[in-house]
Each structure stands twice: as C-alpha cells, then as structure tokens.
Structure 1
C-alpha cells in the first residue's frame, strides 16, 4: 500500500509540473502572488472630509458601507467636518464607534 501511495504521489507531482503548476514547498514562498497582497495595509489616518464611502468602510472598525455612505451624505449636505467628534451627528454613529476609530481618522 505504501508503494502505491508513493507512486500516486509521484504521478500527481509529475502531472502537475507537466500542466505548468509549480511544486509547492514550505521552503520556497510562492512568487506568483501580487506585491499588493503581501504588503500590510496602511495605518495612516484617513480623512473623513476626503474619503469615499468605500474607503471609510474599509478603514473603520464597525462601519459598513451603509454607515459609511451616511457619513458621506452628511458631509455633502452640511459641509466638511470640523472635528472628528462631529461624526456623532450622523445617524447610527455613536461615541463607541468614534472612540474605537479615533486613531484611524483625521480631518
């Protein structure tokens, strides 16, 4: 049984390399991955006056696209924010969300 398992493994590896799939090894990292995936996300604060709803939802903890769109709508209706704490005036945004994301935001 061990011999048949070994033979099957060799056949699978040979077939994989014949089809153009590189052998996976723990010693060698895959080089096909784009560099953008390998880089850690930026920790620079995001401007609540310039960011899109998609950027806000990606950067803020506990903010989905719907709340991020509410932030952008509020900004478009009332003008730019003058303080981060002003986010409390947006429906659905409270003290806890602002405190949780204070280090991720700027004006």
Structure 2
C-alpha cells in the first residue's frame, strides 16, 4: 500500500512539472511572437512619438531631430540618408535598418 501511495505522489509531481513546463514554453512562444511583430517604420511619415517608441536607441530628442530634418529638407530619398540627421550615425542606422522604410 505504501508503494502505491509513493507512486501516486511521484506521478502528481511529474504532472505538476509538465504543467509548469508547458506554461513556460507557451509564455516564451507568445513573447517571441510579439518581439517579431515589429512593423516597419516609415521615416517619411512617422511622428516623433512613433520614431521614439519604435526605433532602437532613438529617444524623443533624436526623433524630434528626424522630423525637423524631414520638414526642412523634404522627404528622405533613401533610408541611409538618415545618417545626415544630427545624433544618428552608422551604428544607430544599422540597428534599425531592418524596420526602416520610405513607404
């Protein structure tokens, strides 16, 4: 009888571990899905808030510089032209290149 009770407790622990494992895997899957769900940022139409929240390493100050540059010089002809904006260098451009667009 004792062996049956020990086996039952062991199975309960295994069941609990499986539940925890499945829950952790589900949470990891959905958090990765959200990270990959970043949409393209159109540097010719995005406002300061969008630029600051969506671009890596770009806060409100640099985002404001992007918008002011665009208003002063017209639409960007290429994504690479973003390096002409004060505060943006090649490294910052590279970090965001995959999500930047002109359309």
**Considering the TM-score relative to the shorter chain, is it more than 0.5?**
yes
SS at match of 2:34: coil
Which sections of structure 1, spanning at least 5 residues, go unmatched? Answer: 1-38
Measured against aligned partners, the alpha-carbon deviations of 1:49-107 in whole angstroms (never above 9, x if no partner) come to 00001100111000000000000000000000010110111011000000000011101
Q: Structure 1 segments of 4 or more deviating over 3 A? A: 39-42
Pairing partner for 2:53 from 52, 58, 70? 58
Number of residues of Structure 1 aligned to a counterpart in Structure 2: 70
Normalising by the residue count of structure 2, what TM-score does the alignment of the two structures yield? 0.63
Which sections of structure 2, spanning at least 5 residues, go unmatched? Answer: 1-32
2:98 and 2:52 mapped to 1: Cα distance?
A: 15
- The structure with more helix, counted as a fraction of residues: 2
Normalising by the residue count of structure 1, what TM-score does the alignment of the two structures yield? 0.61
What is the RMSD of the two structures over their aligned residues, measured on CA atoms? Answer: 1.6
